[in-house]
Structure 1
């Protein structure tokens, strides 16, 4: 049991150190020796857990995906209704990207040409937004004349845009930016009354 706990701590330390270096330098430039050094373990310990840099990058993405799904689950748990959950999830997403280097690296790794792999976190987010907007449409939340496809396009493009721009300038990853987005979108998206409270929207 003690060995298993130690192995788990080592693995998590390597994932975090890998995420920090991938986010800072990119997949190609990041070296395994630097990652093991920052994690405080030997190169042998790193290779025991991950056979290659690509395997470590996949582990970072997998962990980031778990954390992204937690953001989604938390947003659904607060209210359960589709459009309020979508609004809430965008706040949670931006907070996570800003504060959690594993999530930030997970998104950035999907866009790194050196890996030659697709952007799984962005794809996951896109699919969830599509499902949620279509549920909002079925539940009567979308305003007359609003296309679900158009709503999905705008929300995905805007939120992924914040994520990408936030990689260059952290000011993009703020509650104020998300509030500004929804102040612009919500009056067009829904006819339900909205209130702004402490920088966040509560839909009634």
Structure 2
């Protein structure tokens, strides 16, 4: 292709190629971000902004589309399969606690709950089913005291006994669950490049030629 060009075109070819590669990478990035937005119900802005591009240069002739390390770690199962990546030792499954607009626990929620006197962290075994559930539990509202008929040491004055309701599960701990959604990140990128390369290269070459003549 280079031999078919005239001297001016050959001189501008590296610049046009680098420009086309960068344009293609940006098309891939935009498509990958759009795919994230449609694959997940409420992806965070951090996830959507995690896809980046390095521009090509005449010396390197390479443009890269990448996912930032933190996001890549938890998105990897959605490309290669497997289970969700856990930030801790267990999957946090919120039950009766407020979530943010993206359906996630707000930062520091777990630490805040642990510091509250009416919250306990541990395992509870249900007598009826024998099931043991580990998680963060909320004690019932302030314990109500009721008079009993037991005689006290000083006569017939009633002693006070505590009446307590059941615990409420706020966050359940569990094992990592299998990932069912698939991003097809690499296949999608290859399809975009194959579809748009000729057009982007032609646009870049025309631009390079126009710039050179000026």
Q: Hey, which of these two has a bigger chunk of helix by percent?
A: 1
Q: Hey, which of these two has a bigger chunk of strand by percent?
A: 2
Greater gyration radius: 2
